[in-house]
Structure 1
Amino acid sequence: MRIRYFAGAAEAAGVPEESFEPDFDVTVAELVEQLGADRERLAKVLAVSTLLIDGRPVHERSEYIGPESQVDVLPPFAGG
């Protein structure tokens, strides 16, 4: 699974993207928990971010993600 971080999420993760190799489908909640397990700052960003699975917005964190999916992490953006 390919995880891509944007803006503040990339800063919190310390990388613009990374791979996550589950042996089976995981829920969005499980993925978020595992990605933020040892990175407190990233965990906080993930809690308020919009996630896209293969370009489609996630509406429920109980949704399953396949091991070949791409997940985009979009933190809240400020603008004006």
Structure 2
Amino acid sequence: MVQVRYFAGARAAAGGVREELISAGSLDELAAELTRRHGESLAVVLKAASFLVDGLACHDRSAELPAGVTVDVLPPFAGG
């Protein structure tokens, strides 16, 4: 299981959920499961989102997610 935490627009697109446990072996699998659970509005956010895996940026969405990690979903932020 992977703990997923949502921030800003990702939280809103997930229906206000702050965090949840998901079974996924990669970020691609995670995105597919999150889309299944929360719908297309979250899928749109996930396409542009950054992911932190235990606090480190992960750009390879096919990389293995070890059990027990925390994945932060960070949508693009506006401002300067």
TM-score (norm 2): 0.88
Counterpart secondary structure, 1:65? coil
Indicate whether 1:7 and 2:46 are aligned: no
Distance 1:29 1:61 in 2: 5
1:18 CA drift (Å) = 1.1
State, as a whole percentage, how many aligned pairs show the same letter.
47
| Structure 2 unmatched runs, 5+ | none
* 2:20 matched residue in structure 1: 18
Indicate whether 1:29 and 2:31 are aligned: no
1:65 CA drift (Å) = 0.6
Matched AA of 1:5: Y
TM-score (norm 1): 0.88
Matched AA of 1:31: L
How many pairs were matched up?
77
Trace 1:1-80 onto structure 2 (pairs within 5 A): 1-14=2-15, 15-20=17-22, 22=23, 26-38=25-37, 39-80=39-80
1:32 CA drift (Å) = 0.7
CA RMSD of aligned residues (A): 1.2
1:58 CA drift (Å) = 0.8
Counterpart secondary structure, 2:59? coil
